[in-house]
Amino acid sequence: MINLLASKGASTVFLLLLAKFLAPDAFGLIAMTTVVFELANVFVASGLGTAVIRSKSISVLDLNTVFYTNLGISIFAYTAIFISAPYVATFYSQPELTSLIKVMGLIVFINAAKIIQSAILSRDMDFKTLMKANTIATLLSGTLAVTAAYCDWGVWSLVVLMVSQALISASILWLASSWRPQLRFSGESFSRLFAFGRNLLGEGLLSVVFQNSYVLVIGRFFSAEITGLYFFARKINDLISHQLTGAVQQATFPALSTLQDDYQILKHKYRQIMQLMMFMIAPIMLLLAALSFRVVDLLFDEKWLGATPYLQLLCVVGLLYPIHALNVNLLNVIGRSDLVFKVGLFKKTVSLLLLFLALPHGVIGIVWSQVIASFLALLPNTYFSKKLVGYSLAEQLRDVVKPVFAAVLGSSVAGLLASVLALNPYLILLLTVCCGVFCYLISSFWLRAEGLLLIFDRLSRRVERE
Domain range annotation of the chain: 1-221, 223-466
- What whole-number distance in Å separates Cα of residue 275 and Cα of residue 256? 16
- What whole-number distance in Å separates Cα of residue 360 and Cα of residue 339? 34
Q: Is the pTM here over 0.85, yes or no?
A: no
Distances (CA, A) of 36 to 32, 40, 115, 220, 299: 8, 6, 20, 14, 30
- What whole-number distance in Å separates Cα of residue 304 and Cα of residue 183? 51
pLDDT of residue 365: 93
Answer yes or no: are the C-beta atoms of 322 and 281 closer than 8 Å. Answer: yes
- What whole-number distance in Å separates Cα of residue 132 and Cα of residue 3? 8
- What whole-number distance in Å separates Cα of residue 442 and Cα of residue 420? 22
- What whole-number distance in Å separates Cα of residue 219 and Cα of residue 215? 6
Which residue, 335, 334, 186, is CA-closest to 262?
334
Answer yes or no: are the C-beta atoms of 247 and 3 closer than 8 Å. Answer: yes
- What whole-number distance in Å separates Cα of residue 425 and Cα of residue 205? 44
pLDDT of residue 412: 93
Which residue, 124, 439, 462, 126, is CA-closest to 290?
439
Distance from chain centroid for Cα 206: 15
Query: In what helix (H) or strand (E) does residue 111 lie, and over which residues does it extend?
Result: helix 106-123
- E-state strands within 295-338: none
| Helix, coil or strand: residue 47 | coil
Answer yes or no: are the C-beta atoms of 42 and 208 closer than 8 Å. Answer: yes
Query: In what helix (H) or strand (E) does residue 119 lie, and over which residues does it extend?
Result: helix 106-123
Q: What is the CA radius of gyration of the chain?
A: 22
- What whole-number distance in Å separates Cα of residue 13 and Cα of residue 7? 10
Distance from chain centroid for Cα 88: 25
| Helix, coil or strand: residue 311 | helix
Answer yes or no: are the C-beta atoms of 300 and 228 closer than 8 Å. Answer: no
pLDDT of residue 283: 92
Answer yes or no: are the C-beta atoms of 407 and 452 closer than 8 Å. Answer: no
- E-state strands within 21-160: none
Per-residue pLDDT of the chain (466 residues; tens, 9 = 90+): 566 555 555 666 676 677 777 778 877 887 777 766 676 566 555 566 666 666 667 778 877 887 888 788 788 878 888 898 898 888 888 888 888 888 888 888 888 888 788 877 777 777 778 778 878 888 888 889 888 888 888 888 878 888 888 889 889 888 888 888 888 887 777 777 666 666 666 666 667 767 777 887 888 888 888 888 888 888 888 777 777 777 676 666 666 666 666 677 778 888 888 888 888 889 999 999 999 988 888 877 778 888 899 999 999 999 998 888 888 877 777 777 678 778 877 888 888 899 889 988 989 999 999 999 999 988 888 888 888 878 888 888 888 899 999 999 999 999 999 888 878 888 888 899 999 999 999 999 998 888 888 888 887 877 777 6
Which residue, 353, 174, 325, 308, is CA-closest to 244?
325
CA angle, residues 22, 19, 147, in degrees to nearest 5: 70
Which residue, 246, 272, 371, 364, is CA-closest to 316?
371
pLDDT of residue 186: 79
The one-letter amino acid code at 229 reads L
Answer yes or no: are the C-beta atoms of 363 and 310 closer than 8 Å. Answer: yes
pLDDT of residue 199: 64
- What whole-number distance in Å separates Cα of residue 2 and Cα of residue 409? 29
Task: Count the residues in the chain.
Answer: 466
- What whole-number distance in Å separates Cα of residue 140 and Cα of residue 124? 27
